[in-house]
């Protein structure tokens, strides 16, 4: 059994156990393939992984072309000049963080006659170096975004402050779940709470995440 196969089993089991402890429903695993070679993506597909995440458009597009059967998610900060490459290629955008980007997505989706599914990124730790809306801005942004006919907001995404002790991150996940569960905006149906990565996905699931993004724990540390 390959290392990827063993790690996939371990990660899936950890997710399942954390979800049982929390009493929540199914949790989607997105395997983050940033810097991961195409052959390893092929192996991951053979192991039953179906959803993959990328954060650099130019690196991602060749993989999307090789594996169109996969469910591809865009995770990184999206520049408006890359919108044309993302719309129609990715099933879900996790990083909608400003109105200018929402307008650009709407325009490109209209041009293509398609629909964009997106998550609003929240800067839950109020970190200057990270994208995302402040908690206080989220509801107003959703109200505005609900007027866009080709952009469908389906939930929230967050990357909390880094910490060597995952327990220190728990309060941020808890705050995100409270925000997610209480938001009520006409025209917006909250379905997805994307939070948790390789070092903290178990705690994220325990605190209400229903989508986690795991890369290095599956594929090894990036070089």
Encode pLDDT of 133-168 as tens digits: 999 999 999 999 999 999 999 999 999 998 888 899
Q: Tell me the pLDDT of the chain averaged across its residues.
A: 96
Encode pLDDT of 172-184 as tens digits: 999 999 999 999 9
For residues 66 and 44, what is the distance between their CA atoms, to the nearest angstrom? 13
**Structure confidence at residue 223 (pLDDT):** 66
Find the domain containing 155 and state its range. 3-219
**Structure confidence at residue 128 (pLDDT):** 85
Q: What is the CATH number of the domain that holds 89?
A: 3.20.20.10
pTM of the model: 0.95
| Structural domain total, the chain | 1
């Amino acid at each position: 059994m390959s290392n990827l196969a063993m790690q996939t089993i371990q990660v899936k089991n950890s997710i399942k156990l954390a979800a049982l402890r929390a009493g929540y429903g199914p949790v989607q695993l997105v395997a983050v393939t940033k810097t991961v070679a195409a052959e390893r993506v092929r192996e991951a597909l053979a192991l039953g992984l179906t959803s993959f995440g990328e954060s650099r458009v130019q690196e991602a597009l060749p993989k999307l072309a090789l594996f169109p059967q996969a469910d591809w998610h865009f995770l990184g900060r999206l520049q408006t000049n890359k919108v044309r490459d993302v719309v129609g290629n990715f099933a879900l955008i996790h990083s909608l963080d400003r109105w200018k980007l929402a307008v650009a997505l709407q325009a490109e989706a209209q041009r293509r006659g398609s629909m964009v599914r997106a998550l609003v990124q929240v800067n839950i730790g109020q970190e200057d170096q990270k994208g995302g809306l402040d908690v206080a801005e989220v509801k107003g942004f959703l109200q505005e975004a609900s007027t866009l006919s080709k952009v469908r907001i389906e939930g929230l995404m967050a990357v909390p402050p880094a910490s060597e002790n995952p327990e220190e991150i728990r309060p941020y996940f808890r705050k995100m779940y409270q925000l997610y569960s209480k938001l009520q905006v006409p025209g917006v149906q909250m379905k997805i709470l994307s939070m948790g990565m390789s070092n903290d996905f178990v705690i994220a699931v325990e605190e209400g995440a229903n989508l986690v993004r795991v890369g290095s724990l599956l594929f090894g540390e990036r070089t």
